[in-house]
Amino acid sequence: MPYVPHSDDDVRRALAAIGVDDVEALFADVPEALRDPPIELSAPLDETALLKRVDELAARDRTTGPDFLGGGLRAHFIPSVTPHLAFQSEFVTAYTPYQPEVSQGILQATFEYQTMMCELTGLPASNASMYDGASAVAEAALLAVRQTKRETVLVSRGVHPETIEVLQTYLWPLGIALEVIELEDLTTPVPDVSSEVACVIAQNPSFVGTLEPMRSLADAAHGAGALFVAAVDPLSLAVLASPGEVGADIAVGDGQTLGNPVGFGGPSFGFMVVTEPLLRQLPGRLVGQTTDVDGKRAFVLTLQAREQHIRRSKAKSNICSNHQLTALMATINMAALGPQGLREMAEGSVRRAHQLADALRAAGGDVRTGARFFNEFVLCIDREPATLRRALSERGIRAGVSVPEAFGLGFAVTLATTERTSDDDIAALVSALGDLGVLASARQEVTA
Amino acid sequence: MNASHNAPVGVDAADRFRDASFPLIFERAAPGRRAARPPVVDGAPMEELLGEEHLRAQPPGLPEVAELDLVRHYTQLAHRQFSIDGNVYPLGSCTMKYNPKVHEEVAKRFQDVHPYQDEASAQGVLTVLAELQDDLASITGMDTVSLQPAAGAHGELAGILMIRAYHEAKGEGEQRRVVICPDGAHGTNPATASMAGYDVVEVPTGPDGEVDLDAFRAALGPNVAAVMLTNPNTLGLFETRILAIAEAAHAVGAQLYYDGANLNAIVGRARPGDMGFDVVHLNLHKTFTTPHGGGGPGTGPVGVKAHLAPYLPAPLLVRRDDGSVGAEGQRPTAIGRLRSHYGNVGNLVRAWAYIRTLGLEGLRRVSTMAVLNANYLRVSMREAGYQIAFDRVNMHEFVARPPDGLKTLDLAKMLLDYGVHPMTVYFPLVVREAMMVEPTETESIETLDAYAAVLGQVLRDAQRDPSLAHDAPRNTPVRRLDEVGAARRPILRYQVPKA
Ligand SMILES: Cc1ncc(COP(=O)(O)O)c(C=O)c1O
C-alpha cells in the first residue's frame, strides 16, 4: 500500500507487543453502528496513471498566451532560483518552529521576512504572515476595533470587492458596522470621519488601478482619532510612497506579487505590518531575535501571550497555521531581485499599462482611470464581462476581470500588465478587442 | 555590520554553526549585487507617469546579493532545520506524515491558472476541485463541502459562523450565546468561538480521559449554540459516548462541531457525519498530507449537513448541465467569504492526488496503521519508563509524561541531540508535563523501535546525571534560547544600515 511501510510480519509483531489479536481490536472503542461506513471513492491510481490523469486535466486549462489578468494576482517574473530554494525538503516538510534549536532555518528566514516587510512598508513591526490579503485586511479592522474600542469601520469602494465581502464576514458576528465610501472619478474622496470610527481602510493602487490620496485619507482618519489601514500591493512599494511615509498605522495586503505563482488564487500569503504602539495587538506568530546560552544570536517565536494556544478565548485572533512557506518564497524572491530588480518589475508594469491604455484610447476604447493609475485600469465595454472574457479566451488571450455593478460603471473590466507584457501582447489585445467590436462601439458613441 | 559576518560563505559550515552567529541575508549583501534580472521595459520616468507625490523617498533596504551567495544562504538555513524528510517528527495533534513527492509535480501543473480567467479555460483545475469537494463529503459523511478556508482555525471560524447564522435564521440568535469546549480542546476552538461573538464554557475531562458526560449535560441548555469536539479527542482517545453526547446536544437545539485535526485515526473507518456532527472542518495538512511548510499554508475545508448548506461560504463548485464545472455565486443566506478566490488550491490539488492514489482501501490502511503505530509506541514508551496518562488502547496518538522529578522540556531538548524531533510538549493542558505523541502510519516499526530506544536512553541519562538534562541540547546550531529576554525586549527586525 502506498506510503505505509508495514509488512504482514511487522503488523503481527506490533499486535503481539500491544497485546491484542487483530487490528480490529484497536478500534473497539468505535461504536458498532459507526463502523465501516459507505464511502464512495474512485479506484486507486498508480503514479503513472495519476500523472496521466493530471495531464489530461491540465490540458483543459489555458496557462499560456497574452495575459492581462490582475484583480490582486498577477503573473510576474519569478526567477528559477526562488522556488528552487524555497522548496527544499527541510522548509517544505517542517512544522511550526516550536523547538527553536532545530528550527533556526524557518525562524531566521521569517525574521528576514519580517525585516523585508518593514523595509517595504516603512513600518516597524511585521508578523510572520497571515492567510491572504483579504483576511489580513479583516484582521486589521479587528485590530483597530480592539485598539480604539470603537465599532464602525469605514472602507473605500476602491478596496477589492472580495476583501469587502471578507470584512463583512469577520465584522458581523461582533456587531461592528461597515460603511463604504463611494468613489468619485474612480478615486476615494476624503471622507468625514466620525468619532465612532475605528479605522479607515483604503487600497493603493485601488481595485480599479487608481493611485489614491493616501496622505489625505490618513490625515482624515487621524483627525477623528481613528487608525488608517493601507491595503497595498507589496510590489508597487518598490516605487510608491510606503504606508509609513503616508502615515498609515497598519499596512496589509497579499504577497502573491512578490514571487508566488497565481495558483488559481492560492496559496499566496497575507502580510500585516504595524506601528510600534500596535505591536502587542498583532494577530499571529512573531519571530524575535535573542541569544542562546553560548551568547550566539538566535531566533525564536515570541510575544506568544497574544496567541490562541496561550490565551485561548482571549487571544487576539484564532490564527494558528499561517502561510510561512509562501512568505518564504517572497523572502527569497525579494533577496534574489533586490531593490533594483523589484523596481524594474514595478516600473515595467507601470510603463506597459500606460502603453496599453494609450493604445486602447487611440483605437477608440473607453478607458477610465483616476488622476493617476499604476499597472491596471478600467475599460468600459458594451457587453457582460464574462462574455468578453470567453471571446478573448477563444482568441488565446486571458483578460477582463469583472468590475462589479457597485462601481456604477455599467459593463466594465480591468486590464493589468506586468513587466512580462510584450509589444506583441498589447497589439494582440487591441486587435482582438477591435475585432470583437468593443472599441468601435465606444468610438461611435464618442463621435455621435 | 559585524566584521565576523564577512567571512567567506560556506567554507566550513559546520565550524560556523559552532563558533559564530549565523549571518543574516542582509549581512551577506553589498551594494550593486543582485541575483535575478527581470525583463527591463524602457519608457517614461515614474515622476511623469505616476506623479512625484506618489513616489517613495528612499528605496526599500532590501538585501543586494549575488546568486550563489543567495543559494548558499538559504541552503545552509535549510540545513539548520529539522523536517519530516530528515528526521522523525512525531508531533501530537499535527499528523506529521510523509508528504509524497509526486504531489509536488501535480501541484506544479495547476499553478499558472488565474482564478479570474474564463471558466471554460479552467475546466481542469475546476474538475479537480469539484471531485475533491465530493470526495471529502463522502469521507466525512457530510452533505456539502466548501474548500475555501485557509487553515484549520479558518475552517472553525466558517463552521461556527454558519451555526450562528442558522440560529439567527431560526430567531434564536439572541438566546444562544455559549459555545462548549472540553478543557482539553485545542486553543483555536475557544479562540474561534470568541471571534464568532460567543462566550466559551469549558467542560472537564472525566477520569477515563473522555468528556465527563454528567458535567456536559449540566452545561447544556437553551443558551448553548454549539459544542466543539474532536474525536478522537486530544488525548488520543475515542469518545465512546459520542452518540449520547450528540443526542444530548441536539436535544437542547445546539449544533455539534467536529474539529477534524484528528481524522487520521478514523479516516475510511468511521465518519463524523454518522456520529451526529453537523459541521466538520478538515486539516488537509494533517490527514491528507499537504506539507506544513514550516507553519503553513494549510487548508481547512468545511463540510455541513443539509440544514446548514444555505450558509456555506461561496464559491461552491457545481456541475452544470453541459457537464462543465462552475462556481456558484454567494447564496443570499451565506455567511459570506472568508478569503479571496477558491481556497488554497495548490494544497487542494495535492490532497486530491493523495485520495486518488490511495482510494478507500488505502485510506483505511492509513488509519489502521496510524493507530497500530501509536499503540505500539505507547507500549514501548511505557516499557522505557514513561507514564501513560490514560493507559488503554488509544487511537492515532497518546499522551505520556516523564516519571516524577523529570521535566518534559529537558527530555525534549535531550532528544534533539539524537537527531529526532520531540513530540508535542505541554499540550493538552489537562495532563501535567504532557508529552503528546503521534507517530503516524508512515513510520516503520524499526523507526519506532529506534525512537523508543532514544526515549529510554534520555530518561536513564537524566535520572543518572541531572546536568545532562539541564545542559541539553549540546550539538544543535544554537542551544537553549533566552525566550524571556526575547519577549521582554522584542527585536522583531534587523536594523538595515542606511546609506
Ligand atoms: C486539535 C486541533 N485543532 C485545530 C488546529 C488548528 O489548525 P490550523 O493550525 O490549521 O489552524 C490544530 C492544529 O494545530 C489542532 O491540532
Please write the tens of the pLDDT for every residue from A141-195: 999 999 999 999 999 999 999 999 999 999 999 999 999 999 999 999 999 999 9
Interface A-B: count of C-beta contacts within 8 A: 692
Ligand 1 close to Cβ of residue B229 (< 6 A): no
CB-based contact (8 Å) between A446 and chain B? no
pLDDT of residue B2: 38
Residues on chain A touching B187 (C-beta within 8 angstroms)? 307-312, 315, 320
**Paired sense of beta strands A250-254 and A227-232, if any:** parallel
Tell me, which fold does domain B362-486 have in CATH? Aspartate Aminotransferase, domain 1 (3.90.1150)
Tell me, which fold does domain B102-357 have in CATH? Aspartate Aminotransferase; domain 2 (3.40.640)
The domains of chain A are located at 81-331, 338-447
Ligand 1: which residue has its CA nearest to atom 15? B261
Query: Is B499's pLDDT higher than 80?
Result: no
At B139-197, the pLDDT tens digits run 999 999 999 999 999 999 999 999 999 999 999 999 999 999 999 999 999 999 999 99
Residue with C-alpha cell 497574452?
A66
What cell numbers appear for A145 in the block? Answer: 476595533
Q: Looking at chain A, how many residues does it have?
A: 448
Q: What is the ipTM of this complex?
A: 0.97
The answer to whether B36 contacts A79, with C-beta atoms less than 8 Å apart, is: yes
> Residue B21 — pLDDT band, cuts 50, 70, 90?
confident
* Cα A147 to averaged position of ligand 1 atoms, centre (Å): 27
Nearest residue of A to residue B192, measured between CA atoms: A318
> Residue B9 — pLDDT band, cuts 50, 70, 90?
very low
Q: Per-residue pLDDT averaged across B39-48, rounded? A: 97
pLDDT of residue B18: 47
Residues on chain A touching B36 (C-beta within 8 angstroms)? 77, 79, 81-82, 333, 336-337, 341
Q: Strand ranges (DSSP E) for A172-296?
A: 177-181, 197-204, 227-232, 250-254, 270-274, 287-291
Summary mean pLDDT of chain B: 95
B140 phi and psi angles, rounded to 5 deg = -95, -15
Counting DSSP H helices and E strands in chain A, the numbers are: 14, 13
Ligand 1 close to Cβ of residue B290 (< 6 A): no
CB-based contact (8 Å) between B90 and chain A? no
Q: Name which of A318, A349, A375 to mutate to probe chain B: the one with the most chain B Cβ atoms within 10 A of its Cβ.
A: A318
* Cα B382 to averaged position of ligand 1 atoms, centre (Å): 27
Query: Is B296's pLDDT higher than 70?
Result: yes
A354-389: buried (b, 16+ CB within 10 Å) or exposed (e) per residue? bbbbebbeebbbbbbbbebbbbbbbbbbbeebeebb
Q: Per-residue pLDDT averaged across B304-315, rounded? A: 95
Q: For domain A338-447, is the CATH number 3.40.50.300?
A: no
Q: Per-residue pLDDT averaged across B252-267, rounded? A: 98
Q: What is the percent of chain B where pLDDT is above 90? A: 94
Ligand 1 close to Cβ of residue B184 (< 6 A): no
Q: Name which of A282, A321, A376 to mutate to probe chain B: the one with the most chain B Cβ atoms within 10 A of its Cβ.
A: A321
- DSSP readout, A369-380? --SSB-SEEEEE
- A213 in the Ramachandran plot: left (φ > 0), alpha (ψ -120 to 50) or beta? beta
Q: Per-residue pLDDT averaged across B41-56, rounded? A: 98
Q: What is the dihedral of CA A41, A43, A44, A49, to 10 degrees?
A: -120
- DSSP readout, B91-145? BTTT------THHHHHHHHTTT--TTS-GGGBHHHHHHHHHHHHHHHHHHT-SEE
At B180-239, the pLDDT tens digits run 999 999 999 999 999 999 999 999 999 999 999 999 999 999 999 999 999 999 999 999
**Residue B462 C-alpha, separation from nearest chain A C-alpha, in angstroms:** 19
Contact B369, B363 (CB under 8 A): no
Rounded CA separation B237/B79 (Å)? 36
Residue B60 neighbours by CB distance under 10 Å: 22
The answer to whether A265 contacts B342, with C-beta atoms less than 8 Å apart, is: yes
Name the nearest CA neighbour of A222 among A164, A277, A158: A277
The answer to whether A58 contacts B109, with C-beta atoms less than 8 Å apart, is: yes
At A324-343, the pLDDT tens digits run 999 999 999 999 999 999 99
Query: Is B15's pLDDT higher than 50?
Result: no
Residue B382 neighbours by CB distance under 10 Å: 15
pLDDT of residue A217: 98
Give mean pLDDT in consecutive 10-residue pieces for chain A, a chain of 448 residues: 95 98 97 96 98 98 98 98 98 97 98 98 98 98 98 98 98 97 98 98 98 98 98 98 98 98 98 97 97 96 92 92 98 98 98 98 97 98 97 98 97 98 98 94 48
B407-431: buried (b, 16+ CB within 10 Å) or exposed (e) per residue? ebbbbbbbbbbbebbbbbbbbbebb
Residues on chain B touching A341 (C-beta within 8 angstroms)? 34, 36-38
Q: Name which of A114, A143, A313, A398 to mutate to probe chain B: the one with the most chain B Cβ atoms within 10 A of its Cβ.
A: A313
At B117-142, the pLDDT tens digits run 999 999 999 999 999 999 999 999 99
Between the CA of residue B37 and those of A216, B66, B72, B181, what are the distances in Å?
Answer: 36, 11, 19, 53
The domains of chain B are located at 13-68, 102-357, 362-486
**Residue B115 C-alpha, separation from nearest chain A C-alpha, in angstroms:** 4
CB-based contact (8 Å) between A324 and chain B? yes
Ligand 1 close to Cβ of residue B209 (< 6 A): no
CB-based contact (8 Å) between A223 and chain B? no
At B432-468, the pLDDT tens digits run 999 999 999 999 999 999 999 999 999 999 999 999 9
pLDDT of residue B314: 84
- A81-331 and A338-447 have identical folds: no
CB-based contact (8 Å) between A109 and chain B? yes
| CATH architecture, range A81-331 | 3-Layer(aba) Sandwich (3.40)
